[in-house]
Chains A and B, each alone.
Chain A
């Protein structure tokens, strides 16, 4: 499978995502520069963590204007898989590819720790190999990861089975403990925790492999 990892100025988990899919999962990977007008020949796009354009305004608020995001929207519209991790999730909501917003953590501090998540649906290309209701542990590392949306949106997300991961011990005050969500077409997922950081035993866990393995098997089914 061919992964493309977008590099914004200020992305800092781009190398980690690249390493996870290429070294730990043995897939092909390439970087996509933020001013690319189109997405190269890849099967999935990863928007990595970091501080795109410094994130001095609202996280992801500048990144949504970068040329590559128009290309990512087209890619998603045509059914391509898009995975936004941490800052990538923030960029997806800012770009309107996912609903809601990510605001300052309830504790008002940056928080880096391992959190337990419940897999809420296996009906997605990002969790198809997982068991619904099972628990995985991914690290979080963010200052603005509190997911908020209006009640109707939250109800809709739940009714449409679009909440993918929920925190068991909410680290940031996210509404309804939401850690990751899907778009309506289920080919775009954003989540605050970092699956790419737990894809080899040396990092203490391989819980994150499932996300990428699901994507690989989703492509194979296509």
Chain B
């Protein structure tokens, strides 16, 4: 809800008191969700340009040039609050919303990935609810994406008690577009008709954007009517109709009706084109009777678009929408006075300058102190647990276990472009129209960011870029989703600021500009905030070719650790999976990152993959060397390795220092040669063998013994 001073500012801009409909309009447009009022001054620090960036932040999605006349449009967006209240529909409409952002630009969606965060499934108090939320969210994503016909090809699922009262659902979508056929949400051309297409407007989702900008309280459960209901079939028709209508050449501008519905689409389209828009609500297709102007303007009914057509060519547009059985109605006209004028049966019910809504939202430089953290620097003594027992415990933990139960519910192959799915470090779709493919990785680590938001965020950027490099692609751009708690608390605001600054530094360094994204604040329930949870979606470019697999393929191959064993001490061990799962503790700092070395390691693996030397390729991430070796072995071919180090065995096996990649190869000299060229350490730690994993002097196990707990853990946890 607007504060008193915001209400006063609205009145000052209007030169009079706003009426109730106008208050509602200001309220949604100036909400945190739509206006970025707490984050905007800090978001400016992020790099947004490169030679490949055709379109940066500010439009519905960013666009990168991939050559041969084509580009990719992509963005990530959150649907956290709705997914807590009604997991199935909340997640489903999250998918629907981001898909519309992509195809409203003229791009056909070809991939979706999801970053999900839930409370632990075995949480003593909240386990049952967490399980229900996970089932609902996965069901909703599956329902919407599968029916719409876009492959859901990857992502990540992470558990932490910080998400008990506030799960995160971040959805990334990517589409293909001809670079000379990009559409914008701009209402150009005074006198041009403003046309409403798609689903009818109902009373669903009224004030969704405002809900997404407030903390949860006990009353939030009554907000279920604020959650929209998705219809993926309608969205599919809307996709086909929009792309076909765009081909007529009669469309001047187009924007989806997402958050803040008709209000946002009208005033933003007018504001961007510096024009006015006048509409009469009596022409808006409605599925309920007796809706007030307030309700129509603020409804967040799904699967709707607003477009501006060339005057006199409306019929060409209507013909296409009729063919697809969709509503299309002229509801207004573009004017020259820069004002959003809303009439209802001719009577003016709201009259506000577009730029006052879209650009004059209050901007806050909220005070920030030191990032919130409530853990010590030094951790407990290492437990000296049996290495194999620890490994099995880690592999069957929520974060590390197989997520097959989830991704088998997603159609991963529709559109026949998927070269790599969720079982790889990065997912890959080819772009049929070109000789290129796109590798995508979503990453985030709330524990690292809690220990140090700046370094944790840099590690996230490094990891995402490394994932993309591991399959042979060059990281070129990024989209971010900043999930944080209440920015009005200075120690939370400090997390946000430090995270953005870390992201800026790392994205600059790795030459992956941020082309758009989403900020989700107030992720708190009853005053309990989530872990600071930035999520990054990195896209990489590669020539279309089958990538090396993650798993070892053949016995008697050399196992190489590119980047070396890395280093660790007690302080930098406190954010690892070992610390969490085995020691049930968190302390210290995230692993140390050397960005220059990381960049060299990434260049090395791209060269190794490019030269065809890697039969398998997998980066070391959470769970460190031991978990990575196990994951590489799950295809049935394991390894016998021996590592010499002064590190304590727990550190050696489970520390999570970045800049390390495991490959198997029949040409170890070739790999060593490339590593030398990049001045990157390269260790030949052993060779592949069938059926077992042996880490010399520390553990030995059949693969089956490791794989079964890993494979069954999630399903076991989901069983009530």
Contact = CB atoms under 8 A, between A and B. Distances in A.
B409 A111 contact: yes
B409 A203 contact: no
Contact of A141 (B232, B411, B419, B430): B411
B74 interface: no
B54 to A, nearest CB: 25
Interface string A184-205: 0000000000101100011110
B410 interface: yes
B76 to A, nearest CB: 23
Given A54-B231, A109-B409, A110-B146, A12 B414 contact: yes
B99 to A, nearest CB: 13
A53 B413 CA distance: 21
A54 B233 contact: yes
A110 B142 contact: yes
Nearest to B142: A110
Contact of B413 (A51, A54, A112): A112
Interface in B56-105: none
Interface residues of B: mostly helix, strand, loop or mixed?
loop
A15 B413 contact: no
A207 interface: no
B233 A51 contact: yes
A16 B236 contact: no
A10 B147 contact: yes
A202 B413 contact: no
B416 A112 contact: no
Nearest to B416: A16
A112 B408 contact: yes
Given A13-B149, A16-B415, A112 B237 contact: no
Interface residues of B, number: 31
Interface residues of A, number: 30
B568 to A, nearest CB: 38
B231 A15 contact: no
A10 B430 contact: no
A20 B146 contact: no
A79 B695 CA distance: 64
Contacts of A202: 419, 430, 544-546
A53 B233 contact: yes
B325 interface: yes
Contacts of A49: 414
A148 B233 CA distance: 26
A112 B147 contact: no
Interface in B122-165: 142-143, 146-149
A113 interface: yes
Contacts of A197: 413, 416
A120 B147 CA distance: 31
Nearest to A14: B149
Interface string A36-56: 000000000000011101111
Interface in B413-456: 413-416, 418-419, 430, 432
Q: Please indicate which of the listed interface residues A9, A53, A113, A204 has the most CB atoms of chain B within 10 Å of its own CB.
A: A9
A62 B147 CA distance: 16
B471 to A, nearest CB: 14
A197 B151 CA distance: 13
A180 interface: no
A9 B324 contact: yes
Given A141-B414, A202-B430, A112 B148 contact: no
B618 interface: no
The residue among A19, A196, A201 with the most chain B CB atoms within 10 A of its own CB is: A19
B412 interface: yes
A54 B416 contact: no
Interface in A112-148: 112-113, 139, 141, 143
Given A9-B324, A12-B236, A141 B413 contact: yes
Contacts of B234: 54
Given A51-B147, A112-B409, A202-B430, A10 B414 contact: no
Nearest to A12: B149
Interface string B391-412: 0000000000000000111111
Nearest to A200: B416
Nearest to B323: A33
A51 B409 CA distance: 16
B414 A16 contact: yes
A165 B184 CA distance: 49
A136 to B, nearest CB: 16
B328 to A, nearest CB: 16
Interface in B298-316: none
B414 A13 contact: yes
Interface string B250-290: 00000000000000000000000000000000000000000
23 contacts: A10-B236, A10-B237, A12-B148, A13-B149, A13-B414, A49-B414, A50-B149, A51-B147, A51-B232, A54-B232, A56-B233, A111-B409, A112-B407, A112-B409, A112-B410, A112-B413, A141-B146, A141-B412, A141-B413, A196-B416, A197-B413, A203-B418, A204-B546
Given A54-B233, A54-B234, A141-B411, 14 more contacts: A10-B237, A12-B148, A12-B414, A13-B414, A19-B416, A51-B147, A111-B408, A112-B407, A112-B409, A112-B410, A139-B413, A141-B412, A197-B413, A197-B416
A-B residue pairs, 3 tightest by C-beta: A12-B149, A54-B233, A141-B411
